[in-house]
Amino acid sequence: MNWDDETPDSATGADPRLVDAGADTEDTAVEAALRPKDLDEFIGQEKVREQLDLVLKAARARGATADHVLLSGAPGLGKTTLSMIIAAEMAAPIRITSGPAIQHAGDLAAILSSLQEGEVLFLDEIHRMSRPAEEMLYMAMEDFRVDVIVGKGPGATAIPLDLPPFTLVGATTRAGLLPPPLRDRFGFTAHMEFYAPAELERVIHRSARLLDVAIDAAGAAEIAGRSRGTPRIANRLLRRVRDYAQVKADGHITVEIASAALGVYEVDARGLDRLDRAVLEALLKLFSGGPVGLSTLSVAVGEERETVEEVAEPFLVREGFLARTPRGRVATPAAWAHLGLAPPQGAPGQAGLFPA
């Protein structure tokens, strides 16, 4: 799986995938209409919601600007949505930018110095910001101050500039990549988890209502089960199933329609797509379940190493279909069961690794 919003799988040379968690052009256009507008409308993530609710309520009661918030989690789980909700709940304007968009510290200084009091600054992919910008951000977050450097070389001087209090909302798919001094300056860190199927069903029902699509409970459950725990994917699959329902039926989404539609798009019952299944099938059929090295497995699938490792494997590992061991990739019993195959007796990958 690709964990950077800004680099969809298409950038790695593969076809865009229906189950990629990054936003494609269509998502970007549709998502604005589907985003929950306040915390009450935001589905799931109970812990994060409860904690954030307290942080925001307390700030409002004090008449103060909310503490800086760090949102960490995989793409498509609702980080951008939450940043907008934070601004809405604080009745504050929001400015949206991203780490890669800030090339120089000067870019950041320009943004910071034009913020209004109480404004929310959303910094997406904060782990991809440049070093000098990062250091400027430390001081801005802590003291609401930046040093603007005027001139070059030995004659350069730093002119301190006071900033109005603001709330920085940083989002990252990789909290581990953030330097500790930056992480420490957030008053509150929210770790976003993958969504349970029941939560995704609610997301799907809500989106269907907004898109004016008729769907029954079993239809929503069918789509939810294939959405990889990710609201963005759930919304995308819903749109594809809607297309199918309109063309092949009366537009009403039932479990039969949902499963037939996603069959056409090759997204299986657990949310695996063609690539995921190709990797699993090669591992099971050609290598008896492994262990097999990544390079060998990639050649067998006819894909780049990186594609197998970064696009397919993370989800297969997360779902418990594949394990990365020091001796190579190994299929789990769940993988054999999912593909409806019987593991060979005494397959090397099975012995001792997964006692029954």
**CB of 127 or CB of 329, closer to ligand ADP:** 127
Give the binding range for Mg ion (CB under 5 A) out of 74-82, 211-219, 247-255, 283-291: 74-82
Taking the complex as a whole, how short is the minimal distance between the CB of residue 46 and ligand ADP, in angstroms? 10
7 annotated active-site = no
User: Residue 17 and residue 296: Cα distance in Å, rounded?
Assistant: 23
The phi and psi torsions of 155 (rounded to 5 degrees) equal: -85, 0
Decide if 86 contacts 187 (C-beta within 8 A): no
Q: Which of 121, 112, 95 is nearest to 163 (CA)?
A: 112
| Nearest-CB residue for Mg ion | 80
User: Would you count residue 80 as binding Mg ion (CB under 5 A)?
Assistant: yes
Q: Is 236 annotated as a binding residue?
A: no
Q: Is 274 annotated as a binding residue?
A: no
Taking the complex as a whole, how short is the minimal distance between the CB of residue 96 and Mg ion, in angstroms? 10
Which of these is catalytic: 17, 128, 228, 232? 232
The phi and psi torsions of 103 (rounded to 5 degrees) equal: -80, -45
Taking the complex as a whole, how short is the minimal distance between the CB of residue 34 and Mg ion, in angstroms? 13
How far is residue 321 from each of residues 37, 46, 345, measured CA to CA in Å? 37, 28, 19
Taking the complex as a whole, how short is the minimal distance between the CB of residue 74 and ligand ADP, in angstroms? 7
65 annotated active-site = no
47 annotated active-site = no
Q: Is 79 annotated as a binding residue?
A: yes
Q: Are strands 94-98 and 120-124 parallel, antiparallel or unpaired?
A: parallel
Decide if 348 contacts 290 (C-beta within 8 A): yes
Taking the complex as a whole, how short is the minimal distance between the CB of residue 98 and ligand ADP, in angstroms? 11
**CB of 175 or CB of 294, closer to Mg ion:** 175
Decide if 233 contacts 19 (C-beta within 8 A): yes
Q: List residues near ligand ADP by CB under 6 A.
A: 5, 31, 34-36, 42-45, 75-81, 203, 231-232, 235
Which of these is catalytic: 9, 20, 27, 124? 124
Find the length of the chain.
356
273 annotated active-site = no
Q: Is 240 annotated as a binding residue?
A: no
Is the bond preceding residue 291 a cis peptide, omega within 30 degrees? yes
End-to-end CA distance of the chain: 29
**CB of 178 or CB of 283, closer to ligand ADP:** 178
Residue type for position 216: D
Decide if 103 contacts 123 (C-beta within 8 A): no
Binding site for Mg ion (CB under 5 A): 80
Give binding residues for Mg(2+) as ranges. Answer: 80
Give binding residues as ranges. Answer: 34-35, 76, 79-81, 142-144, 185, 195, 232, 305, 324, 329
